Homo-oligomer: A and B are copies of this chain.
Amino acid sequence: MLRPPAKHCRNCGTPVVMRLPDDGDTKTRAVCPSCHLVHYDNPLNVVGTVPVWGESGQYVLLCKRNIEPRFGKWTLPAGFMELNETTAEGAARETIEEAGAQFEMGEIFTLMNVVRVGQVHIYYRARLLSDIFEPGYETIEARLFTEDQIPWDEIAFRTVKETLEHYFADRRQGRFGFHAFDIT
Contacts and interface: CB of A to CB of B under 8 A. Distances in A.
A48 to B, nearest CB: 15
This chain: copies in complex = 2
A40 to B, nearest CB: 7
A43 interface: yes
For this complex, into which size category does the number of interface residues on chain A fall?
Answer: 35 or more
Contacts of A137: 24
Interface stretch (A12-20, A56-64, A70-78, A168-176): A12-20
A74 to B, nearest CB: 21
A132 interface: no
Interface in A79-126: 80-88, 107-108, 111, 113, 115, 118, 120, 122
Contact of A83 (B12, B43, B84): B43
A11 interface: yes
9 contacts: A2-B83, A8-B13, A27-B82, A42-B80, A42-B82, A43-B81, A84-B115, A87-B180, A178-B178
Interface of A: 2, 6-15, 24, 27, 39-45, 80-88, 107-108, 111, 113, 115, 118, 120, 122, 137-138, 178, 180, 182
